[in-house]
Chain A
Amino acid sequence: MPRVVMRVNGKEVSGEVEPRTLLVEFLREHLGLTGTHVGCDTSQCGCCVVHLDGRSVKSCTVLAVQCEGAEVLTIEGLARNGELHPIQRAFHECHGLQCGFCTPGMIMSALELLQRHPAPTEPQVRAWLEGNLCRCTGYHNIVRAILQAAEEMRQAPRPAA
Chain B
Amino acid sequence: MYAFEYHRPASVAEAVRLLREKPEAKLLAGGHTLIPTLKQRLAQPSDLVDLGGIAELRGIREEGGALVIGAATPHGEVETSDLVRRTIPALAHLAGEIGDPQVRNRGTIGGSIANNDPAADWPAAVLGLGATVRTDRREIAADDFFTGMFETALEADEIVTAVVFPRPRRAAYAKFPNPASRYAMVGVFVAETDGGVRVAVTGAAPCVFRLTALERALAANFAPEAVDGVTVDASELNSDIHASADYRAHLVKVMAKRAIASALG
Query: In this complex, what residue of A is CB-closest to B3?
Result: A20
B59: interface (CB < 8 Å): no
Known: A43-B36, A130-B182. A20 touches B101 (CB 8 A): no
Q: What residues of chain B lie closer than 8 Å to A58, measured between beta carbons?
A: 102-103, 106
Q: Which of B48-68 contact A (CB under 8 A)?
A: 48, 50, 52
A102, B189: Cα distance in complex, Å = 36
Query: Contact at B8–A61, with CB atoms within 8 Å?
Result: no
A119: interface (CB < 8 Å): no
A81: interface (CB < 8 Å): no
A66: interface (CB < 8 Å): yes
Query: In this complex, what residue of A is CB-closest to B35?
Result: A61
B99: interface (CB < 8 Å): yes
A36: interface (CB < 8 Å): no
Interface pick from A49-57, A88-96, A140-148, A149-157? A49-57
* CB < 8 Å A-B pair total: 75
Query: In this complex, what residue of B is CB-closest to A56?
Result: B102
Task: Determine chain B's interface SS by DSSP, over half rule.
Answer: mixed
A131: interface (CB < 8 Å): yes
A61, B101: Cα distance in complex, Å = 14
Query: Contact at B4–A66, with CB atoms within 8 Å?
Result: no
Q: Which of these, A66, A130, A131, contacts B50 with CB under 8 Å? A: A66
Task: Determine chain A's interface SS by DSSP, over half rule.
Answer: mixed
Q: What residues of chain B lie closer than 8 Å to A112, measured between beta carbons?
A: 101
B17: interface (CB < 8 Å): no
**Size class of the contact patch on chain B:** 20 to 34
B39: interface (CB < 8 Å): yes
Query: Contact at A46–B4, with CB atoms within 8 Å?
Result: no
Query: In this complex, what residue of A is CB-closest to B1?
Result: A20
A55, B99: Cα distance in complex, Å = 15
B6: interface (CB < 8 Å): yes
A33: interface (CB < 8 Å): no
A22, B39: Cα distance in complex, Å = 10
Q: Which of B1-28 contact A (CB under 8 A)?
A: 1-6, 8, 28
Query: Contact at A56–B182, with CB atoms within 8 Å?
Result: no
Query: In this complex, what residue of A is CB-closest to B53?
Result: A68
Query: Contact at A109–B6, with CB atoms within 8 Å?
Result: no
Known: A19-B5, A61-B106. A42 touches B76 (CB 8 A): no
Smallest CB–CB gap between A81 and chain B, Å?
A: 29
Smallest CB–CB gap between A43 and chain B, Å?
A: 6
Q: Which of A48-84 contact B (CB under 8 A)?
A: 49, 52, 55-58, 61-63, 65-66, 68
Query: In this complex, what residue of B is CB-closest to A41?
Result: B39
Please list 29 pairs of residues, one from A and one from B, whose beta carbons are closer than 8 Å in the complex, sorted by A's number: A19-B4, A19-B5, A20-B1, A20-B3, A20-B38, A41-B39, A42-B36, A43-B32, A43-B102, A43-B103, A44-B181, A46-B100, A49-B102, A55-B105, A56-B105, A58-B102, A58-B103, A63-B6, A63-B31, A63-B35, A66-B52, A68-B8, A112-B101, A128-B101, A130-B100, A130-B182, A131-B99, A131-B102, A131-B103
18 additional contacts (CB under 8 A) given A44-B181, A63-B31: A2-B6, A19-B5, A42-B39, A43-B36, A46-B102, A49-B102, A57-B105, A58-B103, A61-B31, A61-B106, A62-B31, A62-B106, A65-B6, A109-B101, A109-B102, A130-B101, A130-B182, A131-B102
